[in-house]
Amino acid sequence: MLIAERQARLEELIARRGMADLDTLSAELNVSQSTIRRDLELLESRGIVRRTHGGVICVGHAAPTRTPYSYAFDQRMSVLADAKRIIAKAAAAQVEPGQTVLIDGGTTTFYLAQELLHKSLQIVTNSLPIANVFLNVEGVELILTGGVLYPRYGVLLGPMADTTLSAIHATLMFLSVAGVHEDSLFNQNLLMVQTQRRMMEKAQKVVLLADSSKFGQQALARLGGLDEIDIVVTDAALEDTWRKRIQAAGCELIVAAVT
């Protein structure tokens, strides 16, 4: 395998999984760990990955090489990535060590997961990409809901997911949506909305992570009202009319700023 081909394949593997360890990458590409480390140094210098102890996580600065079978999740990782990162950082400040945190599947919530790597937490999620972020992370107890895989977004849905969620209680739930229109929240899939509703019911506080482009947008299924959200975290491009509407709904508004 040529060097460029190997590096493209490495980038594709990490982008698809969200996180990987050196042993697995070395075995799959049939090269030594030292070779993998050199390739990862290059990808890190380009802002595509972040190396961790014994592995690597995707940070999505650049669009990775795609295959015809790439998830919609992968394709959305680089869309408004800078806004999603600052929203994730602001949202992470709401989390205290020792809490039980529910994390919904989504690209902004994926960036949030990366911000929580150094906190001691119980993480409950229905997202395979987010679960991959916390694999082998010391101090994090990871609970995956189970359920039927919806491959476009890498989330687990349906009765099995709902049964797991019915048995837990969380301090915070971090929510991702496809759009906010007037005073309603929307998402792309009816089963997804059903599982998100159950998540919202099981948390003391619900925190919506939504970049400014989501406001004014609708999708297939109505999730609920804006007044069911405790905190909205967004970016500075949000229009004043939406800021007023969010606050009128009784939500705390956090506008994430570049630091």
Helices 107-115 and 81-92: angle between axes, nearest 10 degrees: 50
Calculate mean pLDDT across residues 87-109. Answer: 96
* Run of H or E including 133: helix 128-133
In 3D space, the residue among 32, 89, 12, 72 whose CA is nearest the CA of residue 254 turns out to be 89
Confidence of residue 72 (pLDDT cuts 50, 70, 90): low
112 has a pLDDT exceeding 90: yes
pLDDT tens digits for 236-255?
999 999 999 999 999 999 99
Indicate the DSSP class of residue 215. Answer: B
Q: Phi-psi region for residue 222, left (φ > 0), alpha (ψ -120 to 50) or beta? A: beta
Among 24, 14, 22, which residue's Cα sits nearest to residue 48? 14
Percent of the chain with pLDDT over 70: 90
What domains are defined for the chain?
Answer: 3-70 (1.10.10.10), 73-256 (3.40.50.1360)
How far is the CA of 108 from the CAs of 100, 115, 235, in angstroms? 19, 11, 12
Q: Which of 69-78, 87-96, 122-131, 133-142 shows the lowest per-residue confidence on average (mean pLDDT)? A: 69-78
Residue environment code for 205-231, b if the CB has 16+ CB neighbours within 10 A, otherwise e: ebbbbbbbebbeeebebebbebebbbb
Element (H, E) at 162: helix 159-166
pLDDT of residue 65: 41
The structure's pTM equals 0.74
Would you say 199 and 187 are in contact if contact means Cβ atoms under 8 Å apart? Answer: no
